[in-house]
Amino acid sequence: MSKELRIGEIVAGHFHREGPLLPILHEVQEEFGCVDAESEALIAKALNWSRADVHGVVSFYHDFLANPDPRPEVQICRAEACKARGIESMMDEAQQAAGDRVKLSAVYCLGLCSAGPAARMGETLHARLDTGSLASLIENA
């Protein structure tokens, strides 16, 4: 199925909802790994919005990427509670373990603040990490 058709389907699936854009963007991001300029244009056309309006929304939120990143991603919490448990001192080794192969991204709070440092890979959460377990998590990503 062409991208145009698929995005048309996604938009149609959410069209009846009140304020459908965010659910649409989530599904497009899920399907194509990003919401690129082409997708923005297609969504805009389907919703009868301007491309600028759609781009404004896409670029506002951290979750939507302009380009796909095929690397596995590990999100590491860098917020206060995990800082208090020493995540910052583990980051050098985490970077080393990741190299160019794994994408490390900062996330501000996974809600596991009483058992930090915490990280997320896909739908799986990890808590009470130390330098070793964080590095092995990244190496096995």
Partner 1 sequence: MTQTIVRISDDALARAVGADALAAAFEKQGCDVQRTSSWGMHWLEPLVEIDGKGFGPATLADVDAILSGTSDRAIGAIEDHPFIARQQRLTFARAGKTRPLSLEDYEGTGGWSGLKRARQIGSDAIIEEVTRSGLRGRGGAGFPAGIKWRTVANAVGDRKYIVCNADEGDSGTFADRMMMEGDPYALIEGMAIAGEAVGALKGFVYIRSEYPDAIRKMERAAQLCAHIIAPFEVEIRVGAGAYVCGEETSLLNSLEGVRGEVRAKPPLPAIRGLFGRPTVVNNVLTLSAVPHILGEGGANDYEALGMGRSKGTMPIQLAGNIKHGGLYEAAFGVTLGELVNDIGGGTHSGRPVKAVQVGGPLGAYLPPEQFDIVFDYEAYTAADALIGHGGITVFDDTADMGSMARFAMEFCAAESCGKCTPCRIGSVRGIELIDRILAGKETGGGRQPDRIELSPVMQNAPKRGRTAEEEIELLTDLCETMKFGSLCALGGFTPYPVLSALKHWPQDFTGEAVAERELGTVPGGKGA
Q: Does 22 bind partner 1 (CB under 8 A)?
A: yes
CB atoms within 10 A of CB 99: 10
Where does residue 40 rank: exposed (0-12), middle (13-18), buried (19+ CB within 10 A)? buried
CB of 95 to partner 1, least distance (A): 18
Reduce the DSSP state of residue 33 to 3 states and report it.
coil
Least separation in angstroms between residue 44's CB and partner 1 is 12
Contact 73, 43 (CB under 8 A): no
What b-and-e string marks burial along 74-95, b requiring 16 or more CB atoms within 10 Å of the CB?
A: bbbbbbebbeebebeebbeebe
Q: Does 114 bind partner 1 (CB under 8 A)?
A: yes
**CA 106/CA 104 separation, integer angstroms:** 7
Residue closer to partner 1 by CB (options 17, 101) is 17
Q: Which of residues 47-66 bind partner 1 (CB under 8 A)?
A: 53, 56-57, 60-64
Binding of partner 1 at residue 42 (CB under 8 A)?
no
Residue from 19, 48, 70, 100 in contact with partner 1 (CB under 8 A)? 19
Backbone angles phi, psi at 91, to 5 degrees: -70, -30
Size of the site for partner 1 (CB under 8 A): 43
Determine, following the binding rule CB under 8 A, whether residue 46 of this chain makes contact with partner 1: no
Residues of the shown chain interacting with partner 1 in the complex, contacts defined by CB under 8 A: 17-23, 25-26, 53, 56-57, 60-64, 77, 79-86, 107-116, 118, 120, 123, 125-128
